[in-house]
Structure 1
Amino acid sequence: MRIFVTGASGFIGSAVIPELIGAGHQVVGLARSDASAGVLAAAGAEVHRGSLDDLDRLRAGAEASDGVIHLAFIHDFSQYENAARVDLRAIETFGAALRSSDRPLVIASGLVGSVAGQLSTEQDVPDLARNPRIASAQAALALASQGVRSSVVRLAPTVHGEGDHGFIATLIGIAREQGVSGYIGDGNNRWPAVHRLDAARLFRLALEGALAGSVLHGVADEGVPVRTIAEVIGRHLDLPVVSIPAEQAGEHFGWLGRFLDADLAASSALTRELLSWQPIHPGLIEDLDQGHYFRDPS
């Protein structure tokens, strides 16, 4: 199939491209910059110039494809609601291009908005009031009744692996700056995770075989206690591991403080059953212990 991929040059997308090509698919990647275009071309993908807010270019890419994998998102948490609106418009555009074709649309979503303190499953309905990005997932699933084979992959908040610049890399950077490896409260809240290569395979399997309206969980570690993560970071950086009071979390952790105390344990049992997906790459703690997260940033 000819697959249009947004976010194709990103951390997850750069793993999805070889996964798709290795399975015999042709990849067309959205590129906003010359640098992204170069990365895509080097990976063997065709380049489609455009951006998430250029709806005409998104429509053209989707119309010329046999399916779409939508990974791109504006990760500016100071303007999160605006980023969610841009994402929703993009999905609506893909839906209009793919309507009544039975072509697949697979989108990346997240677990924030799930009920805290319990093991979230694919059957749970997240709270839109807690995460405006959920509107995008709802819009994608609604397309299943309009002749689009749409599915939603709720990714663990930590997609890890070499080259990660997300939550874990940020937490390590904060520990370096603060001189302590911190967690909030007792640190028993759980943080799901998945290796980027396992996530990439899940996106391919969803593209190839997920039923219309499927909700899938990209989760390998159901929930690693945040204190355990802090302890591993402290050990590798030779820093004390300390509890940060909740009222000081914003000052200590910055934007990450609004997420780090969430208890987001999640299961992927139904996903594994539906698509025969089995994570095979290192879990979060094993990946941290490989040491690549702690190389001298200078």
Structure 2
Amino acid sequence: MKVFVTGATGFIGSATVKELQAGGHKVLGLARSEESAQKLRESGVEVYYGDLSQPETLTEAVEMADAVVHLGFIHDFSKFKEMCILDGQVIETIGAALKGTQKPFIITSGIGIIQKHGIVTENDHPEGDAIPRILTELAADKVAATGVQVAVVRLPPVVHDLGDKIGFIPSLIGIAKAKGFSAYIENGDNLWPAVHRQDAAKLFRLAVEKHSGSGTRYHGVAEQGIEFRKIAEMIGSKLGLPTQSIAAADVAEHFTWFTHFAKFNIQASSTVTQEKLDWHPNQIDLLSELEGNVYFPTE
């Protein structure tokens, strides 16, 4: 198949491109700049010029492809809600171009949008509108209602691997360096699910190849939930900094913009996904990755 990939030069997107190519697929990658276009060419990817901020520019690429994987998102946290609204518009525009076809449309979401006590499963759906990223899945459902073959891949808070520059782990490392210690909240028993980037990329390929049934949710989860305290302790150890608990009242002062994410307490299952797609994550776990040099390169 020829697969149109948005976010093709990104951390997860670039790994997904390689996985699709290894599976015998051709990739049409979205590029906004000449720099991105050159990266795609060097990876053997056909370039399509367009811009997520102008969803109408994507229509021709959708028509050229046999499937669409939407991994792109504009990470402007100063305008986060606006970017989530825009993502919904992108999804609806792509969906309109796919209407009347059976082409798979794989959309990226986050497990963190599900507010639930207990284990989050693929059968859970977001409620309310307190979290702006919910707009992505609402748009997916709207498109699915038109008969388009939509599937949503929910990723956990941590997708880890070499090359992770702006994810949750680099953010925690940066905060620890700036504050002089690695922190966790209260007793640090809140949980973060995780997946290795290569396992996530394999899931996107399988979703393209095996997906059936519009509106399906898949979970890219390898580890159901890792104690935040253990992550903080590993970061402190690797940086040679103390690790300590902070009171709930001090969380906003310490973590600032990262406070919402630091408070995440999520357990998530991928049992249904593994059964449906025969997806079995087998890469290194997060704490073992942190113990090595991927996030703490030796000079």
Q: TM-score range by the shorter chain?
A: over 0.9
> Following the alignment from structure 2 to structure 1, what is the Cα–Cα distance between the partners of residues 151 and 128?
18
Q: Does the 8 Å CA contact 1:112/1:130 hold for their aligned counterparts?
A: no
- Cα deviation digits, residues 108-155 of structure 1 (max 9, x gap): 000122124411101111234232222221222343342321100010
Q: Does the 8 Å CA contact 1:122/1:216 hold for their aligned counterparts?
A: yes
TM-aligned CA deviation for residue 60 of structure 1: 1.3
> Following the alignment from structure 2 to structure 1, what is the Cα–Cα distance between the partners of residues 163 and 193?
19
Residue in 1 that maps onto 2:178: 177
Answer yes or no: is 1:29 the counterpart of 2:26: no
Residue in 1 that maps onto 2:200: 199
Residue in 1 that maps onto 2:85: 85
Q: Does the 8 Å CA contact 1:4/1:61 hold for their aligned counterparts?
A: yes
1:1-298 paired onto structure 2 within 5 Å: 1-165=1-165, 166-211=167-212, 212-295=214-297
- Cα deviation digits, residues 171-197 of structure 1 (max 9, x gap): 011111111001122110000110000
TM-score, scaled to structure 2: 0.96
Q: Does the 8 Å CA contact 2:113/2:133 hold for their aligned counterparts?
A: no
> Following the alignment from structure 1 to structure 2, what is the Cα–Cα distance between the partners of residues 30 and 3?
11
> Following the alignment from structure 2 to structure 1, what is the Cα–Cα distance between the partners of residues 41 and 128?
38
- Cα deviation digits, residues 188-227 of structure 1 (max 9, x gap): 0000110000000000101111122210001111100100
> Following the alignment from structure 1 to structure 2, what is the Cα–Cα distance between the partners of residues 8 and 241?
37
Of the structure 1 ranges 130-139 and 92-101, higher mean CA displacement relative to structure 2 is found in 130-139
> Following the alignment from structure 1 to structure 2, what is the Cα–Cα distance between the partners of residues 117 and 237?
33
SS in 2 for 1:60: helix
Q: Does the 8 Å CA contact 2:107/2:152 hold for their aligned counterparts?
A: yes
> Following the alignment from structure 1 to structure 2, what is the Cα–Cα distance between the partners of residues 130 and 281?
34
Which contiguous aligned blocks of 4+ residues in structure 1 show a shift greater than 4 angstroms? none
Letter in 2 for 1:231: E
Of the structure 1 ranges 96-105 and 35-44, higher mean CA displacement relative to structure 2 is found in 35-44
SS in 1 for 2:295: helix
- Cα deviation digits, residues 260-297 of structure 1 (max 9, x gap): 1121110001000110000011111111112220126x
Gaps of 5+ in 1: none
Aligned residue pairs, count: 297
SS in 1 for 2:267: coil
> Following the alignment from structure 2 to structure 1, what is the Cα–Cα distance between the partners of residues 56 and 115?
37
- Aligned-pair RMSD on alpha carbons? 1.4
Gaps of 5+ in 2: none
> Following the alignment from structure 1 to structure 2, what is the Cα–Cα distance between the partners of residues 11 and 283?
18
Letter in 2 for 1:69: V
Letter in 2 for 1:246: A
